[in-house]
Amino acid sequence: MTPVLAALPPVTVQHYLLLSALLFAVGLVGVLFRRNILIVLMSLELMISAANLALVAFSRVHGNLQGQVMVFFSIAVAAAEAAVALSLIIALFRTRGGVSVDDAAELKG
């Protein structure tokens, strides 16, 4: 166990920022790649969480708590967004009978 642990590079703040960027990129690919609107919404939540991780890392490196207060508000806004978006999905399902993003293409030019 110990040699494996010693072989890993020491964790810097960059590691957290790069992981956050990677999670954000995965979420972005999910938003554009998937057609199921539930998965699109979940990818959006993943992108918000990735941004939260970067904010907590910044808070850690600067040694003040403002970044964490920001994350607290971000989680509250994400909760409100999820509630409204899920009720929109239910309304879409009732009128169109499906949860694909193609079911809501009426405004497409």
Partner 1 sequence: MEGLGFYAFGALALVGALLMVTSRNPLHGVLWLVASFLGLAGLFGGLGAHFLAAVQILVYAGAILVLFLFVVMLLNLRPDDLTRMPSFSVRGGVGGLILGAGGFAAVVGAVVLGTAGFDREVSALAPLEAGAAELAVPLFRDALLPFEAVSLLLLAAIVGAVALTKRRLP
Judged by CB under 8 A, the residue of 3, 63, 108, 109 near partner 1 is 63
Angle made by CA atoms 2, 6, 10, in degrees to the nearest 5: 135
Residue 105 interacts with partner 1 (CB under 8 A)?
no
Cβ neighbours around 109 below 10 Å, total = 2
User: What's the DSSP call for residue 97?
Assistant: S
Measured from the CB atom, the residue of 51 and 106 that comes closer to partner 1 is: 51
Angle made by CA atoms 30, 33, 36, in degrees to the nearest 5: 80
Q: Which residues touch 36 (CB under 8 Å, ≥6 apart)?
A: 99, 100, 101
Window 14 to 53, contacts with partner 1 (CB under 8 A): 14-36, 38-39, 41-43, 45-46, 49, 52-53
Judged by CB under 8 A, the residue of 80, 95, 104, 109 near partner 1 is 80
Measured from the CB atom, the residue of 59 and 104 that comes closer to partner 1 is: 59
Judged by CB under 8 A, the residue of 3, 51, 83, 105 near partner 1 is 83
Residue 104 interacts with partner 1 (CB under 8 A)?
no
Q: Which two tokens stand for residue 99?
A: 């949860």
Query: Minimal distance in Å, beta carbon 88 to partner 1?
Result: 6
